[in-house]
Amino acid sequence: MKKITNGIHLLIVSALFTGFACITQTAAAQDNVNAQNVSQNAMKTYVIERNIPGAGQFSPEKLKQISITSCTVLKEMGPQIEWLHSYVVADKIFCIYKAENMDLIREHAKKGGFPVTAIYEVSTVISPATAKE
């Protein structure tokens, strides 16, 4: 009977320890998610206007090279700045970025050799869905 009681106690202690370990792992995972959310929330969206004569006529190869340069610089700078996409028009390129601040946008432009005509922080995004809300 004593062996059964000791076995039950061992089983209970083991279950409690395993449960505590799972709770600790879950809490640690939630802390990581919360840290990522805070980091993402700290990122603002920016529109960068770049005056580049003839940009709308650039070849696919030239646009690819520009993209490679930008991505290389971004990789070196780390996760606090992210390029979403760009719109190439006649004599301008409008780039959409997420970054913690405008200084990172300027640093990226300087390191990549990209002109910056203006930087605008996006305050709100609207779309046809806005009319339905």
Q: How many other CB atoms are there within 10 angstroms of residue 50's CB atom?
A: 18
Domain boundaries, the chain: 1-42, 44-132
- 16 vs 111: which has the higher pLDDT: 111
- What is residue 104's predicted lDDT score, i.e. its pLDDT? 98
126: left (phi over 0), alpha (psi -120 to 50) or beta: beta
Instruction: Give the model's pLDDT for residue 127.
Output: 96
Residue 107 predicted with pLDDT over 60: yes
Q: Quick one: pLDDT at residue 122?
A: 98
10-52: pLDDT as tens digits? 444 444 444 444 444 444 445 554 445 445 568 999 999 999 9
Residue 128's SS3 state is helix
> In angstroms, what CA-CA distances link 23 with 2, 9, 12, 79?
31, 21, 16, 29
Model-wide pTM > 0.95: no
Radius of gyration over alpha carbons of the chain, in Å?
Answer: 26
Q: Which fold has domain 44-132?
A: Alpha-Beta Plaits (3.30.70)
